Amino acid sequence: MPTLFQMKIYNAVEKIPRGYVTTYKCIAGAVSCRSYRAVGRALGRNPYAPRVPCHRVITSDLRIGGFQGQHKGPAIEQKKKLLALEGVLFRNGKLIDESRVFQFGRKE
């Protein structure tokens, strides 16, 4: 049973254009939530189908963070590979082009 929180996160992540990534903190702010951890946890479980590109979600450190419930392992390499295919290149586990970070609630 989908929760309201996960639904907002799901909607936010889905808005991320291909070739771009976002950060947990940004999503947390987009859903008016201060717990980025809850976001990562919700995405880690991925209650929704692959419709939610959780691999586009990284840490505010511009790092890969984790994937499929693990912060280390082949899943991380796969995540980097997926982002690389979208044009988001990583180096030493960090995002090279930070300009590829899509930000939500950012007032100008």
Partner DNA sequence: GACGCTAAAACCG
Partner DNA sequence: CGGTTTTAGCGTC
**Residue tagged active-site, from 30, 39, 52, 54:** 54
CA nearest neighbour of 45 among 93, 103, 3: 3
Q: Does residue number 65 form part of the binding site for DNA (CB under 7 A)?
A: yes
In angstroms, give the least distance from the CB of 4 to DNA: 7
Query: In the range 23-52, which residues lie near DNA by CB under 7 A?
Result: 23-25, 33-38, 40-47
Two structure tokens written together for 8: 């907002």
Cα gap 96→108, rounded to integer Å: 24
Tally Cβ neighbours within 10 Å of residue 71.
13
Nearer to DNA, 8 or 97 (CB): 8
Q: Where are the beta strands (DSSP E) in 1-108?
A: 22-23, 57-58, 90-91, 94-95
33 is catalytic: no
In whole angstroms, the minimum distance from the beta carbon of 81 to DNA comes to 14
Contact between 66 and DNA (CB under 7 A)?
A: yes
> Which residues, other chains included, contact 41 with Cβ-Cβ below 8 Å and sequence gap of 6+?
none
What are the catalytic residues?
Answer: 54
Applying CB under 7 A, which residues contact DNA?
3-6, 23-25, 33-38, 40-47, 54-55, 57, 59-61, 63, 65-71
